[in-house]
Amino acid sequence: MKRRRAHRVPISDQLAVIFENMRLLTGDEKCVFARPRNKSGVLDENRALREFKLFDPAITGHGMRTTFRTWMRKTGSYPHDVMETALSHEKDQLVQADMRDDLLEERRPVMQDWADYLTGGQMPPRLRDQL
């Protein structure tokens, strides 16, 4: 994160399957999406962006965030605080001083709805079922 503060993200059912698949592929690696030839051993932001651009050269990191924010707003289902916290937006100092909760449970349905929207409600195949 920009300010080196923790930002917990609720995991959708679809992402849980992806993590399960990655565990089968990588074993007990410390990182889910490891990059062994990188000094830190993890997939960095630049590498991730290069991979996205192979899929579609027009993709940008900020564009994905904007798409997510626009989708949340258009659904009309989520409170403003939940949307802003989902994007880890900074709150003004007065609001930040009074807000002690990261709204993790309130954000859980947002992330599941987003995953369902992106996947058409389909689950990725489980590798363990194909072994």
Tens digit of each residue's pLDDT, the chain (131 residues): 455 677 889 999 999 999 999 989 888 777 787 776 777 777 777 888 888 889 889 888 788 889 999 999 999 999 999 999 998 887 665 555 555 688 999 999 999 999 999 999 999 999 999 98
pLDDT value at residue 13: 98
**How much is the pLDDT for 15?**
96
**Cβ contact 10:111 at 8 Å:** yes
Phi/psi of residue 42, nearest 5 degrees: -120, 160
Q: What is the pLDDT of residue 102?
A: 85
Q: What is the spatial distance between Cα 2 and Cα 6, in angstroms, rounded to a whole number? A: 10
Cβ atoms within 10 Å of 110's Cβ, excluding its own = 23
Task: Please tell me the predicted confidence (pLDDT) of residue 40.
Answer: 76
- The three-class DSSP label of residue 17 is helix
**Residue 111: what pLDDT?**
97
Whole-angstrom Cα distance, residue 113 to residue 82?
Answer: 14
The pLDDT of residue 86 is: 92
